[in-house]
Amino acid sequence: MKDFFKLKENNTNVSTEIIAGLTTFFTMAYIIFVNPSILSLNSGMSWQGVFAATILASVFGTLIMALYANVPFALAPGMGSNAFFTFTLCKQMGFSWTEALTIVFLCGLFIILITVTKLRKTLVEAIPDFLKNSISGGIGIFIAYIGLKSASFLTFVSDAGKYAVLESGNVVSDSSIMPFLTVFNNPHALLGLIGLILVIVLVVKKVKGAIFIGIIATVIIGIPMGVVDISKIKFLDLKSVVLIKDVAFAAFKSSNITSLFSDFNKVVFTLIALFSLILSETFGAIGTFIGAGKISGIFDSSSENGKNSLSGKRFGSKFEKALFSDGIACAAGGLFGTSSVTTYVESASGISVGGRTGLTGLVVAAMFLLCLPFANFFSIVPPEAAAPALIVVGVLMMSSIMKIDWSDFEQAFPAFLTIIIMAFSFNISYGIAAGFIFYCIVKLARGKIKEVHPILLIVSLLFLFNFAIDAFRGMNGVK
């Protein structure tokens, strides 16, 4: 094991990797229960089937990343893509859930194609260093914001009459909605605060495995507080394992391809859906790799630029292998019967406690697999227990913004937009899009557009096209 994962070469050991894997798992375990709820809503999919598909797709994607790329990133169905699957593809565009799975699979195939041709890696090389650092800082705030929400530290208030309740039960408000710090008079917020204090003290004291210890301690404290309900624990529940047959390989139904390309209007919607999903998945993963991988030294500049790819193999660097693994996992989501699988930004929590190799991912995959028959046992970990880890990791990732020259407006404005749009829109890809587009605008205004890499310019135009399509769909009541 030590030789296979090259632990000594990566300055780590078995115990550190195990702690890192457990930490990553507990910060992203919420997807096991959230994903089935989102996908089964308004789509007609089996909750139990999606539950099993979520776990098995996460295990498959994480194992590919761990065993092939040997990096500590975990994968699971993305939180943005599952909402896109249900509310946009199925609810708004009118695709059946089997057609939506086919679109997910086709998206994965395209991502594999651009990865094999190294176009995806070339995109990374085209991004200026200050934008890479702003992506890292933006993801730091993004992660911390997830932590603040999960810890029940925030409440949101909207003006009367400025919101609408959808059939799905979701509430849509306009810009009048405002976040406020919660009143710490409920056990959930108090548990989150206790957990945050615990984790901070342990980190400051430089206790090994501080974040993981903090999560476990918070869970234990939550029992007498009534936040952690141990009465829900059941040690065997194999029903969901069997019901995966309801959703697995539904993407392969021949009728799906026929219906997706049956008439002009359906073809247009199919292409729009594919384009939107491809952009989101491509840059979401790239942003995570740059943000969490580069800052920790897992991916150095030579790895990104392929300077150590002298073996003659198609993928000679960790970065290239990680991109390829992510592409394979994306397609696998459609096969297993869930939305597209992507690299999780929560992997940064495990990396922050020392995870450096695929052994971290192997532990995550094992934990996911254990959840299959023991779902209720793992469900007792409340979001308030994992939230402090995300907040602390967000702080640690902010160091990258020191490398940005804030006195240079050409760097400062695109970097600033990348960071705030990523956090405030709750979307990594949107933050990247804002940074790219305004970087090009600034360069154009200064008469330096030739300094922009052609691929970066093309991608910025594609992002603009995507936003225009979204606006057009909204004007016509599609979204």
Is the dihedral angle over the CA atoms 198, 383, 53, 68 positive or is it negative? negative
Helix 358-370, helix 14-28: angle, nearest 10: 50
Q: Where are the alpha helices (DSSP H) in 152-263?
A: 187-204, 210-225, 239-242, 254-260
DSSP state of 183: P
CA distance 338 to 99: 12
What is the predicted pLDDT for the residue at 236? 66
What is the predicted pLDDT for the residue at 167? 55
> Structure tokens of 262?
């049956």
Nearest CA to 385 out of 182, 155, 211 is that of 211
Average pLDDT along the chain, 479 residues, taken 10 residues at a time: 89 94 89 82 82 94 97 90 81 86 93 87 84 87 87 86 64 80 93 95 85 88 91 68 85 81 79 81 83 71 45 67 93 93 91 93 95 73 85 84 93 95 83 92 94 91 83 59
Question: Distance from CA of residue 82 to its chain's centroid?
Answer: 11
Instruction: Write down the domain spans for the chain.
Output: 14-475
What is the predicted pLDDT for the residue at 170? 63
CA distance 326 to 439: 27
For 168-194, b/e burial (b = at least 16 CB within 10 A) is: eeeeeeeeeeeeeebeeeebbbbbbbb
Cβ contact 222:228 at 8 Å: yes
What is the predicted pLDDT for the residue at 230? 83
